[in-house]
Amino acid sequence: MSTSNRLLAKAARPVELIIAAVFLVGAILKAADIDLFIIQISHYGVLSDRSLIRIAAVSTIALETGLAAALLLKIRLHGITYAGILVLLAGFTGLIIYGWAYYGLEDCGCFGPVEISPAASIGKNGIIAALALVAWAGLAWGGRLKSTWRRVAVAMPAAVLTALAVSAYSFAHIKIQADTPPDARPFAQFVFEWDGGTIDLGKGEYFVALYDSTCEHCMSTVPFVNELSRFPGVPPIVGIFHEGEPGLLQDFVRATGWQFPVHSLGDDFVTFFDMIGDFPPRFSLVRNGVQIKYWDEDPPAVEELLQALSAKSSNDTG
């Protein structure tokens, strides 16, 4: 065996452990804040059904945990494990490129709350793929790619159980709802004091703008919402804001000239995501707490709003 091959063989196990650690850390961080990961997945623009996004989030955690456990327990299956790693990295990279190109993806979600840009994530995946090839080659030269039936019989159940345990933990801690039934009353939860009175979105009709206080596109729509209020028949207008940090709502109002009552969700991104579905802003026509019509990205023309308002059915959704 040549010197370079011997070095590869010696480096294989440490490199294998590094790859396992990267997968395991990523899975644990995602599982620790599964709701954030669900939102991050939605930003890829591949899935729109809330139930499928939840399944994709938990499945990703299970897959990464299982691969990490397999590497730690030396389940190599004649190189099949490494082939699976390369296929997974290629799939993740393709999704990142798609989300970046078509939906302006800013955070890949690879490490949960640790924000990583698409470019950095693509580079990271390239490095891991290179390390996987180094480990694969070193193990092959050292004759350590084979997994005996005894090892597989003992280690495989351990890897599967570890993956199931971490994914079960993440699933049990999901707060984000699946798709809301059409007759649900999600806006009925918003009752707040404003200008000496009480605003109850569970009673009566409202036009509700759902905004993020740092969203530039949200800011650009405010003049159009202000204009809507001038037309007879338009219901009272209310803003529901994800504020993130104290003071951002005041900055938004001051910068845009927002003229209507506002309710801040603070940093409760779970409730906000449940209300908007994907990206802000969303404009909802609400009757007795039920969303009877919604518009994403831009507010409707007044004619369209009044037409939706005159609909008798409360089950129409946008």
3-state SS, 231-275, equals CCCCCCEEEEEECCCCCHHHHHHHHHCCCCCEEECCCCHHHHHHH
Burial, 209: exposed, middle or buried (Cβ in 10 Å; 0-12, 13-18, 19+)?
buried
- In the chain, domain spans: 3-172, 186-309
How much is the pLDDT for 216? 93
CATH for 186-309, options being 3.40.30.10, 3.30.420.40, 3.40.1800.10, 3.30.70.2190: 3.40.30.10
Residues of the chain with pLDDT under 70: 1, 182, 312-318
Q: Output DSSP code: residue 111.
A: B
Per-residue pLDDT at 1: 56
Length of the chain: 318
Distance CA(308)–CA(285), nearest Å, equals 8
Cβ contact 159:81 at 8 Å: no
Instruction: Check: CB of residue 38 under 8 Å from CB of residue 174.
Output: yes
Three-state secondary-structure class, residue 209: strand
Q: What is the pLDDT of residue 316?
A: 46
**Is 154:161 a contact under the CB 8 Å cutoff?**
no
Q: What is the structure's pLDDT at 21?
A: 97
